[in-house]
Structure 1
């Protein structure tokens, strides 16, 4: 029996209207904020969890962390409170942005998404994860039911406040496991703090399901999670007509057993196309008619929800992401890395100044946080200008190797070798240069075959070498 009822007023401010969600951990109500005159969602910790002081402290701590997270693909947390009920019970609750749309779980009940839509959605979720990881928040329960599809793109629900899986989900330390079996990274069975790589694994499983309509592995229960860790079969390859091979490789990389081999969330967002700037319109949020009410008991005033940019739709008959586009974006300057201030990879003339419309680059994240969309007076450019000299191409080759090494996408010895080889390209006679280019191309192929460099990075390096040969054949200047 819920302790909440319609018309109940919390903190003399939030008036409950109707319950719109109910789960084992919580219930969610549509409510009116009678101070700021806007509709909100109120999520209350329910049942035995509400009576546990440790759980109340946990949800309060995580609510504070989630409230620091402002991102267009994250539902905003506005407030936290504890309702003292007439029977003496204390029920913690969160006040959050009320999101209109349908969950990805509801949408997938009708079948998989078209691959451009699935890739775009996953890029937006990855961007939200990267922003959270940058401030130390790990979601722990990425799954289709926690992704809302709206007119402005995907929004991640319950950020930093993942639901416990229930009394049957007990880890090796006897604690309740946080998450959902089908999206649960294998290393999370071990004790220890939450790791952003676990969110990346869950996103890989989510994108796999969105593309093919089923989970990558037959996991339904916590026993399945334990069994598959001991005897894990390979993930079946993605066979989706039109899906670029590099995107398929990226999905499988997210599902790697070793968390160190998974890409970071920011790198995922970049490669899946979520980091491109757009000019957001002003969003008009719904308001409520003013009513008379006593002064609020909550002194702090939550900030209004910020305007969110629309997600550009694919043109009819044209995919939203293509293999060439992914390569161009990677080569042109969208590799965002952990603990690095990210600039444009292909800055004009190698000066390090990003082209007009390029996203600003915050620090860190797992790969790091993806750039936030910002308005630009000029039309945003998704591809930086082509290099015009052989030296620029070589310099950008080295920059890409440096960033890949920082993201652990290439081993150190291979990176050193590639930097040395590219520095030797300009030496000697023209016929010697052609031979050196082929030698360097072979070395990249061998490194990719030996898993010393990930295949998407290898493809981008080969693309740069193609540009080098085109410039050399066209008689470009050396410097």
Structure 2
């Protein structure tokens, strides 16, 4: 199509892409706002069944809330051309970014939460996406946005005959039931979420690549390959990729599981994603001059980590515990992709208040990033997940909070390679006065039993 050609009231500016259902253009509405306009294939628009279903589905798509999605703004026919208009999202698609490097850390977690949030919003509107794949997830400056759900079949029409929609989907990301040509429910989108997150975190889909028949056979019959996927989100991905749709979590349960609490509204989840998201760079950019103080901080952190220096952080008003030297208890474990030496330096009480201080050293050869691994939620960069268990106390004691802030260590956003070492701390309240020893649970760093409690 030539520049400035019109479809309905929209002016087409340039072609953005092309897929199995049609062509997507950057367009402009009468007010001058930029939008994405998708024209459906002429042979599809010419079918009576498609024309009937298109109107019904586009109406349903417009009910989807604007949370981690590119909302549908308009739909119609113009001289036999069926078109769908959505909000234009600035940013590359997931496949373009992962082609350079898989996502890691907070960005991988934000992607998992964002796409799950979008599915929750889509499913709440009674819609099934049916074709969730990397090219249908755009990475905007404020987080991932799911697109192209406007051609989904209504979720509340079980048993409906939909010969066109039945074959929709991309084999590497479709559910076993969709691959068999069966009716697809929201559970099918959850399966696709698991496949997509695996691809985002490892650079490869869980059932491999190849011919359509070969991939479909593996989707139906083989266990997914999740080697290298972040252990923090792997359990949820495994549940999402269950062959039985009835055993998969819902999209809302994915959001809750990732954020560490129940009943998280899609609005709150979207805000959490935006706050933690760091837009990935698709192509190397020209060097940019950093502010001097940022360069100094970066150099100090890099030098310290490289030299295996211990980081110690004491918040104002908190008195450090006894100096490390004679460990109260220690253990060496394989965790977070490397071998770690964990040492409790001190557990000092003052009344019912106690301060735990411990050291983690990477004695292996692989990077083992700690940020985001010791908190209670996917975006929690503190060590709030750590707990102590006094004898005779039914529930563990977790770090105390004051004015909404954890009275505990915040893990630096830095690599943690072999030889690196961190000293961490947390303050607990409610320690029984009779407790002389406690068990210390350090989350993925394991548990250390019978740690002595000493007086201030």
TM-score scaled by structure 1? Answer: 0.55
1:33 maps to which residue? Answer: 29
Residues 1:326 and 1:204: Cα distance change in structure 2 (over 3 Å): farther
2:128 maps to which residue? Answer: 138
Where structure 2 has 5 or more consecutive residues not aligned to the other structure, the ranges are: 154-160, 280-293, 303-367, 385-402, 406-426
Confirm or deny: 8 A CA contact 2:177 2:183 kept in the other structure: no
Matched, 1:60 2:55: yes
SS in 2 for 1:155: strand
User: Alignment length, in residue pairs?
Assistant: 320
Q: CA deviation at 1:260?
A: 2.1
Query: Which of 101, 117, 125 lines up with 2:115 in the alignment?
Result: 125
Can you list the C-alpha shifts for 1:280-338, whole angstroms capped at 9, x where unaligned?
A: 7xxxxxxxxxxxxxxxxxxxxxxxxxxx95545499899796333246999x9xxxxxx
Query: Which of 21, 31, 48 lines up with 2:17 in the alignment?
Result: 21
Where structure 1 has 5 or more consecutive residues not aligned to the other structure, the ranges are: 164-170, 281-307, 333-354, 358-385, 391-429, 442-458, 474-479
1:264 maps to which residue? Answer: 250
TM-score scaled by structure 2? Answer: 0.57
Residues 1:22 and 1:196: Cα distance change in structure 2 (over 3 Å): same
Query: Which of 325, 328, 339 lines up with 2:375 in the alignment?
Result: 325
Q: CA deviation at 1:388?
A: 7.9
**1-structure distance, mates of 2:104, 2:174:** 25
Name the one with the larger strand percent. Answer: 2
Confirm or deny: 8 A CA contact 2:107 2:277 kept in the other structure: no
The CA RMSD measured in Å over matched residues stands at 4.7
Residues 1:256 and 1:141: Cα distance change in structure 2 (over 3 Å): same
Query: Which of 204, 221, 238 lines up with 1:252 in the alignment?
Result: 238
Q: CA deviation at 1:123?
A: 1.0
1:8 maps to which residue? Answer: 5
**2-structure distance, mates of 1:123, 1:108:** 17
RCO comparison, higher one (Cα < 8 Å, 6+):
1
Confirm or deny: 8 A CA contact 1:116 1:320 kept in the other structure: no
Q: CA deviation at 1:204?
A: 0.8
Confirm or deny: 8 A CA contact 1:272 1:321 kept in the other structure: no
- Counterparts in 2 of 1:16-415, with a 5 A limit? 16-34=12-30, 36-83=31-78, 85=79, 90-162=80-152, 176-190=166-180, 192-228=182-218, 231-232=221-222, 234-240=223-229, 243=230, 245-273=231-259, 277=268, 310-313=275-278, 322-326=372-376
Confirm or deny: 8 A CA contact 2:130 2:188 kept in the other structure: yes
Confirm or deny: 8 A CA contact 2:106 2:276 kept in the other structure: no
Name the one with the larger helix percent. Answer: 1
Residues 1:278 and 1:197: Cα distance change in structure 2 (over 3 Å): closer
**2-structure distance, mates of 1:320, 1:66:** 40
Confirm or deny: 8 A CA contact 1:100 1:150 kept in the other structure: yes
**1-structure distance, mates of 2:17, 2:45:** 17
